[in-house]
């Protein structure tokens, strides 16, 4: 534990965040290294920032796994990668009617954002056109924010998605620059940065986040938050590794719930005005402390993830209600 963490007034960090100032590395590490007895004061300070920008509203997002298990990448955390032996469904890109049905399901779950996610290095032109057709109809018929996550885009593809009406594009940094080669070798950290910058240039809102629990140091967690602040990502999903048997990271331990809460608070302090989303792995890492995450985060995924199960959507609705928050029904 740093000396600073034992003496920090967490509300001063909140005020610094609200002023637009960047936390120092020492201040940021103090949050992550604080004694667990400090978690409630840290969350209260994070809530000061969260409430300033988002009140007590919670944004809900739903994923559809639009193409599964056919990925040539070697990402160590992913059950769909070429190096994974996990038993996952394998199918090509879903047709338009199925993507539209997913959008209707998102609305039934009170999700304001519908996320179309396809495994792979990047979409073919044919796959992109399938997504474009579905997006156009969703935009014409439903009041949903649409997020696409299709991998690394080729020339002209970002423009087509933007013209079709995609509001947001997700491409996670996942880990720190230094840790990246230990997680995947089939593409680079810089390619991920370039993709986010590309979608920004066509007016799509950048969504980029991390996966905590892949061997990174505390300092690297801070560096991830700094990187996303510098990238000006509007939406930041914070995933906590759900170690899947058959993947290279199958033996990685879970992130302790108290540590996960400190990570969420840190990202709120460093990226104060951004949508901070508690994403994959929250059920198995935060466990019974999931409700406390809303003091720092203002967004949740509801339903299942790509190849792992989420919890019943009614449970998420009850958490929001019981904590005195309310669902933001329309994200537009």
Q: Measured between alpha carbons, how far is 80 from 61 in angstroms, rounded to an integer?
A: 21
Report d(CA 207, CA 106) in Å as an integer.
Answer: 19
Which residue is associated with the tokens 């540590």? 259
d(CA 53, CA 298): 10
Q: Which residues have C-beta within 8 Å of that of residue 75, sequence separation ≥ 6?
A: 81, 174, 183, 184, 186
177 annotated ligand-binding residue? no
Q: Which residues contact 261 (CB under 8 A, 6 or more apart)?
A: 39, 42, 43, 286, 289, 292, 293, 296
Question: Does residue 115 have a known ligand-binding role?
Answer: yes
Instruction: State CA 233 to chain mean position distance.
Output: 11
- Extract the tokens encoding 153: 């885009």
Interacting residues of 144 by C-beta distance below 8 A, sequence separation 6+: 103, 106, 107, 111, 112, 113, 114, 138, 331, 332
| 149 labeled part of a ligand binding site | no
Cα–Cα distance, 302 to 62 (Å, whole number): 5
Classified as helix, coil or strand, 75 is coil
For 123, 174, 206, 227, 307, the CA distances from 192, given in Å and listed in that order, are: 15, 9, 12, 12, 22
Residue 121 carries which DSSP code? Answer: S
Q: Is 118 helix (H, G, I), strand (E, B) or coil?
A: strand
Residue in 206, 201, 286 with CA at minimum distance from that of residue 242 = 286
- Is residue 271 marked as binding? no
**Numbered residues of the known binding site for [4Fe-4S] cluster:** 71, 75, 78
**Numbered residues of the known binding site:** 71, 75, 78, 115, 147, 207, 277
**Numbered residues of the known binding site for [2Fe-2S] cluster:** 115, 147, 207, 277
């Amino acid at each position: 534990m740093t000396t600073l963490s034992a003496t920090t007034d967490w509300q001063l960090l909140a005020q610094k965040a609200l002023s637009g100032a960047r936390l120092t590395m020492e201040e940021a590490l103090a949050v992550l290294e604080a004694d667990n007895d400090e978690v409630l004061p840290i969350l209260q300070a994070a809530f000061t920032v969260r409430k300033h920008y988002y009140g007590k509203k919670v944004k809900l997002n739903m994923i559809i796994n639009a193409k599964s298990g056919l990925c040539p990448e070697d990402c160590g955390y992913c059950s769909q990668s070429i190096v994974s032996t996990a038993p996952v469904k394998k199918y090509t890109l879903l047709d338009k009617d199925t993507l539209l049905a997913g959008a209707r399901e998102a609305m039934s779950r009170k999700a304001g954002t519908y996320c179309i996610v396809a495994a792979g290095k990047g979409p073919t032109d044919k796959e992109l056109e399938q997504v474009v057709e579905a997006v156009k109809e969703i935009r014409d018929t439903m009041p949903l924010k649409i997020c696409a996550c299709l991998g690394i885009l080729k020339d002209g593809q970002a423009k087509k998605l933007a013209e079709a009406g995609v509001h947001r594009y997700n491409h996670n940094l996942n880990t720190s620059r230094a840790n990246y080669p230990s997680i995947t070798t089939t593409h680079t950290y810089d390619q991920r940065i370039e993709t986010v910058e590309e979608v920004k240039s066509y007016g799509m809102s950048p969504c980029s986040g991390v996966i905590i629990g892949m061997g990174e140091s505390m300092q690297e967690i801070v560096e991830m938050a700094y990187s996303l602040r510098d990238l000006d990502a509007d939406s930041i999903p914070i995933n906590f590794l759900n170690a899947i048997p058959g993947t290279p990271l199958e033996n990685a331990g879970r992130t302790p719930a108290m540590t996960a809460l400190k990570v969420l608070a840190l990202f709120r302090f460093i990226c104060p005005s951004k949508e901070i989303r508690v994403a994959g792995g929250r059920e198995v890492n935060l466990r019974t402390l999931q409700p406390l995450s809303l003091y720092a985060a203002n967004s949740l995924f509801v339903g299942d993830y790509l190849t792992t199960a989420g919890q019943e959507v009614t449970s998420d609705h009850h958490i929001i209600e019981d904590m005195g928050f309310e669902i933001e029904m329309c994200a537009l």
